[in-house]
A = this chain, B = another copy of it.
Amino acid sequence: MASKSKIKRGSRVPIPSQKPFATTLTSNLKETFFPDDPFRKWKKQPFQRRLLLGLQYFVPIFEWAPRYQFKLFKADLIAGITIASLAIPQGINSSLVPPLVYAMMGSSRDLAIGTVAVASLLYTDILGKVVSPTDNPREYLHLAFTATFFTGVIQVFLGLLRLGFIVDLLSHATILGFMGGVATTVSFQQLKGILGLRHFTHKSDLISVLKAIFSQTHEWKWQPAILGCSFLFYMLLAKFYSKRKPIFFWTSAMAPLTSVILGSLLVYLTHADNHGVQVIGHLKKGLNPPSFKYLAFGSPFLGSAIKTGAITGIIALAEGVAVGRSFALVKNYHIDGNKEMLAFGLMNIVGSCTSCYLTSGIFSRSAVNFNAGCQTVVSNIIMSIAMIITLLFLIPFFSFTPLVVLSSIIINAMLGLIKYEEVYHLWKVDKFDFIICISSYLGVVFGSVENGLITAFCLSVVRLLLVAARPKTVMLGNIPDTVSYRNIRHYEFAQRVPGILILQIDGPINFACTNYLRERIIRWVDEEEDRIKNCRGQSLQYVILDLGAVGSIDTCGISLLEEVTKLIERKSLKLILANPGSEVFKKMHLSRSTEIFGRSTYIQQWLRQSKHAHS
């Protein structure tokens, strides 16, 4: 009896109190943009501690540096020197300052920083139209620095606006396909080095690459091919052994670096560079000159520079963060999109002042970094230091490094990144994710990196819209001897309550699903009536809609509830809306619908009464 009176007392849930608009807005914005509540730790702390926490939050190096151990440093050292050996033949300047900035600000542990091919392409495409890089190289260079500066500004801006959740829209399936696709195309591009070709295409899609390779079969050389294959074989062998016996872990990690050293020695001793093996060759000595005085804010082409900066900035961001997330997923840690945007942005602003083009996380180098066993972002610092030492002292030695060794290092890193098993796992668990993954892969392989990302992104959004447009409705049955109700198709011992149809709506009700829900609910009722007619059971009297799982609703959803009430009443049945959440209840009240619906009661209490009535 006590229990009954208690339930009675609570049978009318009060309408949630109307909060001022500003309060609701603030709490909604906070939930949307600051779900992790980053400043929670700061509360009730003295000012100095707050300052430290703030510094640690925005500049992660202050957080992890005190805990950094020598064990990690060994791994990072090897990885850092390995990626430095890759960076030397590519843009030197851009591998010096930006990695240092990223090491302080970034939240990825595997990302290696450098110039991105896509950005260079877009620079020539957009900036090259207003200033010719051949006729007017000085002005072009200054405009390029200016564009890089604006890239940084826009990236910081996005980060401050907390738009990092855009990065969340790149799903695991998208990234899996993207990674496999890039690994495929990058591997094929390395055939340039393996076959010792001098001319090659700037396009990255498979067909252009294959065309470029097979259109110049007469240029193929056997010397670099043999060299490359042997080093690749050596590295694969090292990886194989290090996997079988964990004690040999270092063999795999050291393999790329030893390959570079061995390769350079070989060329130095045999003079293979005179027999068809291309080497890095002569490099200019000296460090980055400052370039902030070249930023051309007064240029008549400032508009083009800003446009170039914005477009390349967003693409580089999407690509860089996608690369970072790829490796974070593999190692199962978390990347904060907002911090990444800030880090990339500052990196480019500083970069533009120290003679660097646009930089971002590069896939091939990060893969080599990952493969060499890097543990933290310190490998980027090592790379930077190694670059400085190289520039100052080791240039003569590295000029003998054969390009083909770099190619085989990259291929070796790529081979580990095409994850058949995971794609099969997607196929097994979720077919739509599989389709997204494959379209991302095909988009990258046969189109471009952006094509792949955009296709997969659009498919992912369509999937979200489909889910939003088709929320699940399930019929509930009573679990015997309890007041609990569960999905009747899932729990086989759940029983129908005679004369009552209980439906639960899973998920938010919005404009995209109202037409569907109307049809679907009416169909549930029709089917239940048919079933009862066939088995001559007790005829239907009540329909209960359990709204307990409807987390949010819009005005269309409220109209839907009104419409369904009318439609069900037209069938001489009574509709009861049970267990509405606070948002649903509040909006029903605001739109005066509670008067139409009557007061909502507990589904439990209501059914207990009805069972008494019927039994």
Which residues of A line the B interface, CB within 8 A? 2-3, 6-7, 9-10, 13-14, 16, 21, 25, 31-32, 35-37, 40, 165, 168-174, 332, 334, 337, 425-426, 428-433, 460-461, 463-472, 474, 479-484, 486-487, 489-493, 504, 506-508, 510-516, 518-520, 523, 526, 548-552, 554-556, 558-559, 563, 579, 581-583, 585, 587, 590-591, 602, 604
Contacts and interface: CB of A to CB of B under 8 A. Distances in A.
B581 A472 contact: yes
Given A35-B519, A172-B511, 10 more contacts: A32-B470, A35-B523, A36-B519, A36-B523, A174-B511, A429-B558, A464-B468, A464-B510, A486-B579, A487-B581
A523 B431 contact: no
Given A21-B431, A471-B551, A7 B506 contact: no
Given A9-B493, A515-B334, A518-B334, A591 B425 contact: yes
Contact of A433 (B40, B426, B512, B554): B554
Copies in the assembly, this chain: 2
B469 A523 contact: no
Contacts of A518: 334
Given A482-B3, A554-B171, A37 B506 contact: no
Contact of A467 (B14, B174, B548, B552): B552
A512 B548 contact: no
Contact of A512 (B2, B40, B168, B337): B168
A510 B468 CA distance: 11
B581 A490 contact: yes
A520 B35 CA distance: 6
Contacts of A32: 466, 470
Contact of A591 (B429, B482, B489): B429
Contact of A465 (B14, B464, B582, B590): B464
A172 B555 contact: yes
A337 B31 CA distance: 36
A481 B2 contact: yes
A176 B169 CA distance: 31
A558 B516 CA distance: 27
Contacts of A37: 519, 523
Contacts of A466: 32
Contacts of A9: 493
Leading 5 A-B pairs by shortest Cβ distance? A549-B549, A171-B511, A506-B551, A472-B551, A3-B481
B169 A13 contact: no
Contacts of A508: 467, 471, 506-507
Nearest to A25: B431
Contacts of A170: 511
Contacts of A472: 551-552, 581, 583
A554 B435 CA distance: 12
A576 to B, nearest CB: 17
Contact of A549 (B21, B31, B432, B506): B506
Contacts of A581: 472, 474, 487, 490, 506
Given A35-B516, A464-B468, A484-B484, A7 B479 contact: yes
Contact of A556 (B172, B431, B471, B520): B172
Contacts of A463: 510, 554
Contacts of A433: 554-556
A430 B493 contact: no
Nearest to A550: B506
30 contacts: A3-B481, A10-B493, A13-B490, A16-B490, A32-B470, A36-B519, A165-B515, A168-B512, A168-B513, A171-B554, A172-B556, A173-B554, A337-B515, A428-B590, A429-B558, A429-B587, A429-B590, A432-B554, A433-B556, A463-B510, A463-B554, A464-B464, A467-B551, A467-B552, A471-B551, A472-B581, A484-B604, A490-B581, A490-B585, A506-B508
Given A467-B508, A482-B483, A430 B165 contact: no
B510 A507 contact: no
A549 B581 CA distance: 13
A538 B479 CA distance: 31
Contacts of A460: 511-512
Contacts of A591: 425, 428-429
Contacts of A469: 165, 168-169
A516 B168 CA distance: 9
Contact of A482 (B7, B165, B551, B585): B7
Nearest to A469: B165
A271 to B, nearest CB: 53
Nearest to A31: B470
Given A21-B431, A555-B433, A582-B490, A467 B510 contact: yes
Nearest to A16: B490
Nearest to A325: B515
A593 B372 CA distance: 30
Nearest to A511: B171
A597 to B, nearest CB: 15
A545 B371 CA distance: 37
Contacts of A516: 35, 165, 168
A331 to B, nearest CB: 12
Contacts of A480: 3, 6
